[in-house]
Amino acid sequence: MKVEARLFERLAGGSVRCGTCQRRCVIPPGQEGWCKTRRNEAGSLYSVIYGAVSSMSINPIEKKPVFHFYPGSRWLSLGSLGCNFRCPGCQNWEISHWTRGEVGVPYLSPEDAVTAAEANGCIGLSWTFNEPTLWFEYTLDGARAAKQQGLYTNYVTNGSISPEALAAIAPVLDVFRVDIKGFSDTTYKRIGHLEQMAGILEIVRQAKSYGMHVEVVTNIIPNMNDSDAELRGIAQWIKTALGAETPWHVTRFFPQRQLAYLAPTPISRLEAARTIGTDCGLRYVYVGNVPGHAWANTYCDSCGDLLIERYGFDVVENKAKDGSCPACGQPVHGVF
């Protein structure tokens, strides 16, 4: 379904400047933006993917991964088409690298998405699989509808949303599960075809300042973003800008697409990344995409007791009592 975009500026000669993400495309009449999901028609900008649902599933929130917001809860996950990055090893490239111009996937209204979440015992909606910023109008309407029914909301995002879009959705967005893909402009250029990372970091900082629950993911790709210096830069930034309590997930990369020639990330490298994070003072650093790994569990950062045991995306046991360690009483960061 096509709807007029909420954030754009009309320019001379019928062009428009899109204000949805940090690319801020200037789009001449009859043309599309970088992501192909927004089109200038007669001097107005339209989203062509409103309600276009390419993927829908019900998962525990651990799958996003989010570990400190109602652990073990069920969420409805929705994805659409397109992306404002072109990560060469994207796991969801069939939908996120979409550029065909024909949408061709089913329509689901925001209200029906909320109804589906409630009918399936979900406590919230996640917009995920592709970059949720691209169907900003739909996620904003969906988040408002979810809030009216008392559901929670979650963006699984690369952080390349504009400050004004984030400000608009902030009052109805609870969780910001954001990638920090590296800690240099060079890495962001190689991975996301984005010229600089400063705008991403500023958005994450703003999400935190709006009161959202923030968790950070770095998918560690061999020879791309796995140097000690880059990982230490991310960890130190998280501690300084977001706080030592912010969960950081260092996840295993599996070969895909243009990076199919690489080997999966060695588990030893993920463990080294986890050590870098804790050495920098982060309290909750998780090894991801390694089912059964001891560092996928949550431990009390005061006495070291095992609090939440996980296997894959499942919570095996949650010993936290009212969000605190039962042994020493130390509160666990997050929402329980």
The window from 35-43, 103-111, 197-205, 266-274 that contacts ligand SF4 (CB under 6 A) reads 35-43
Helix (H, G, I), strand (E, B) or coil at 236: helix
Binding test (CB under 6 A) with ligand SF4, winner from 20, 54, 130, 139: 20
Residue whose beta carbon is closest to ligand SF4: 33
Binding test (CB under 6 A) with ligand SF4, winner from 6, 15, 24, 254: 24
Nearer to ligand SF4, 19 or 65 (CB): 19
The window from 19-27, 226-234, 243-251, 328-336 that contacts ligand SF4 (CB under 6 A) reads 19-27
Binding test (CB under 6 A) with ligand SF4, winner from 122, 134, 204, 231: 134
- Name the one residue in this structure whose structure tokens are 């950070």: 216
Nearer to ligand SF4, 27 or 320 (CB): 27
Q: What share of the chain is helix, strand, coil (3-state, %, to 5)?
A: 30, 25, 45
Nearer to ligand SF4, 131 or 226 (CB): 131
- Cα separation, 322 vs 325, in Å, equals 9
User: Around Cβ 42, how many Cβ atoms within 10 Å?
Assistant: 8
Nearer to ligand SF4, 35 or 280 (CB): 35
84 binds ligand SF4 (CB under 6 A): yes
Helix (H, G, I), strand (E, B) or coil at 282: coil
Nearest-approach distance from CB 134 to ligand SF4, in angstroms:
6
- Cα separation, 184 vs 248, in Å, equals 18
Phi-psi region of 72 (alpha: psi -120 to 50; beta: other; left: phi over 0): left
Binding test (CB under 6 A) with ligand SF4, winner from 16, 23, 130, 290: 23
Structure token digits, residue 136:
């900003």
Q: Write the single-letter amino acid at 284.
A: Y
189 Cβ contact list (under 8 Å, min separation 6): 195
Binding site for ligand SF4 (CB under 6 A): 18, 20-21, 23-25, 33-35, 37-38, 84, 134
